[in-house]
Each structure stands twice: as C-alpha cells, then as structure tokens.
Amino acid sequence: MVKPLSKKIFLQNIFYFLFSTIILAQSSYNLSQFKNETLDFIKQPTKWQNEDWLKVGLIGAGTFLAMQFDQSIRDEVMKDRSYYKSFPIEFGRIYGELTSPILIAGAFGLHNLLSENESSKKIAFEILQTTFYAGVITTGLKLALGRARPFTENGSKDFGNWSLLDDSFHSLPSGHVTVAFSISTVLANNSHSTWLKILCYVPAFLTATSRVYQDKHWFSDVLLSGVIGYSVGTWVTSKHESISISGIPSMNRINFVVAF
C-alpha cells in the first residue's frame, strides 16, 4: 500500500531536481562540471587503496556493533515522550527535510546573484551536489537492506523487507540525517572559524536525535547516515579546494576523508 509520505517524497524530489537544475545552470560551477565530477565520484571505488577499504570496513563494523544496542536505546528513549513536539526535536526534523538544502542553497544562490559573491555560488553548488550524491547512496541502501523502522514493532533485526514504496521498511540509513550532515559538512568546510565549524554541526546532531526520539530510526541508522553525509560532503568540498575563481582561492577543508 502506498503511503501519503511516499507521494510527498516523490513531489519533493521533482521540485528538488528542477530547482537544482536552475541553480546549476546559473552558476560558473555549471552542469558540465557537475557531470564530470559525478563520473569521477562514481569511479571512486576503483581508485581506493587498502586504507580506504579499511575505513569502509571499519564503518561497516561500527554500524553492526551499534545495531547490538539499538533495541535497548529505543526502549530507554520511549520511556519519556514529553519532548516529542518540542522545538529542538522539531527543528532537527525540519533541518533534515529535502526542502532544507533547496532553501539554503537557494539563499546562497540568491546572495550570489545580488552581490556577485563567488563563495556563495560555490557553497550553493556544493550543497546541492553533496545532497544529491549522498541521497543516491542512502536511497540505494534503504531499498537494498529493507530494514523495518522502530515504530513497526518488528524489532531491530528485521531486514529484507524489500519495497519500493512502503517507507516503513526504509529505515537504514536515515535520509533526514544524511541530508542534515551533507548540509552541515559543506557549511563547516567553507568556514574559517573553529567555533563556526562546530556550530554548523549542531542542527545535524539535532536531526539525528530527533529521528531516534520520534521513533523513525534506530541509533545505528543515524550513525551510518551521519558518516555518509560527512564523507560525501568532505569529498565534494575537497574536490573544489584547488579551484580558484576570479583569483579567489577555495576555502580550506577538514583533512579526514572517507571515500564513498
């Protein structure tokens, strides 16, 4: 049975694609660059060294280890539901919606149009690019793993419920947390101040907390999603680190990169 949420996501994806096309077409970071970098992103596994495969293995092992605590964490969280609609929890949920990268990238794009600020153009491009790449990875894993969400009461070890449209079995990874960490990583990597970098991640951690507290995801779901958003965001921003536009060098990035 197709749930209303699935229709909502479908419409959001259409809007996201159209909006992204407009932003990219207006940017010197253009569709041609997006295409070339997408091909490079797809080829990344063929370029991985032993240390890269080790990182991926550690991420997988860490996710599996976290799964062993999923049920106990949920049981503890479910004891107090008084903050279900509180501002921090709802803010975290909203920050992870697909509309967030659209609006935030759109704001940076508009700032570029009004002020011709090249850094704003770069950030808008990177937010859309990161969210797209990370979103594809997350969606693929959701469909392949078919993990039941906590509220189904099927338990934390219920996998293999393959369904294209039933969102109740798309728990691992979390799309909201992937989006949140994608945005925050791009913003943080384009910031010079250490405190500003830290501040950029506060909304993403609120999103992760929100998804567990509102019983939409297991702890291990949000853990893996955060790694995906962070890793892809770091790869995208590092890709542009050496690019100089109108004599303005790209921003510095965080050194740690996990290639996906």
Is position 256 within any domain? no
Residue 244: strand, helix, or coil: strand
**Regions in the chain scoring below 50 on pLDDT:** 1-5, 7, 10-11, 14, 18, 21, 25-27, 244-260
- What pLDDT is recorded for position 16? 54
Model confidence, pTM:
0.84
- 52 domain-assigned: yes
180 vs 215: CA distance, rounded Å? 18
In a domain, 210, yes or no: yes
* Residue 212 counted as domain residue: yes
Number of domains present in the structure of the chain: 1
pLDDT at 214: 98
Structure tokens at 20: 């992204």
Q: Residue 226 falls within a domain, yes or no?
A: yes
CATH of the domain at 73: 1.20.144
Domain membership flag for residue 99: yes
Query: Which pLDDT belongs to residue 256?
Result: 33
Q: Are strands 248-249 and 244-245 parallel, antiparallel or unpaired?
A: antiparallel
131: containing domain: 4-249
Quickly tell me which residue has 């950030």 as its tokens. Answer: 123
Residue 20: predicted pLDDT: 53
Distance CA 98, CA 85 (A): 20
Of 177, 180, 182, 163, which Cα lies nearest the Cα of 216? Answer: 177
Q: Which amino acid is at 22?
A: I
Assigned domain for 254 exists: no
Whether residue 45 is preceded by a cis peptide bond, meaning omega within 30 degrees of 0, is no
Q: Name the DSSP class of 148.
A: P
End-to-end CA distance of the chain: 33
In a domain, 257, yes or no: no
